[in-house]
């Protein structure tokens, strides 16, 4: 992939999931896949940045819920 705008690269970095434990990584990975698809198919610009930022927010919420679910298991 060619070099992207620094803002796009920064937002993409927030989708890394290799550091997460096995019960959280698959949840985060789905969002990373979508982020990669967006960046592959769209040009850098304010709407892509907004889409990625909102996707990061959604990913964070989903991962937090996965943490809550994991903690509440017997």
Is the predicted pLDDT of residue 21 greater than 70, yes or no? Answer: yes
pLDDT at 74: 85
Domain with 54, as residue range(s), is 6-72
Give the whole-angstrom CA distance, residue 61 versus residue 7. Answer: 22
Q: Is 39 in contact with 11 (CB distance < 8 Å)? A: no
Segment 43-62, tens digit of pLDDT: 999 999 999 999 999 999 99
Asked if residue 47 is part of any domain, the answer here is yes
Asked if residue 1 is part of any domain, the answer here is no
Block residue for tokens 């889409």: 51
**Burial per residue of 32-63, b for 16 or more beta-carbon CB atoms within 10 angstroms, e otherwise:** bebbeebbeeeeeeeebeebbeebbeebeeeb
Asked if residue 66 is part of any domain, the answer here is yes
Give the total number of structural domains in the chain.
1
Asked if residue 25 is part of any domain, the answer here is yes
Block residue for tokens 């994991």: 70
């Amino acid at each position: 992939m060619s070099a992207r705008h620094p803002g796009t690269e920064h937002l993409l970095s927030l989708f890394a999931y290799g550091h997460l434990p096995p019960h959280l990584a698959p949840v985060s990975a789905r969002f990373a896949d979508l982020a990669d698809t967006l960046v592959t198919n769209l040009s850098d610009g304010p709407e892509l940045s907004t889409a990625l930022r909102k996707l990061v927010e959604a990913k964070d919420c989903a991962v937090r819920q996965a943490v809550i679910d994991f903690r509440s298991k017997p």
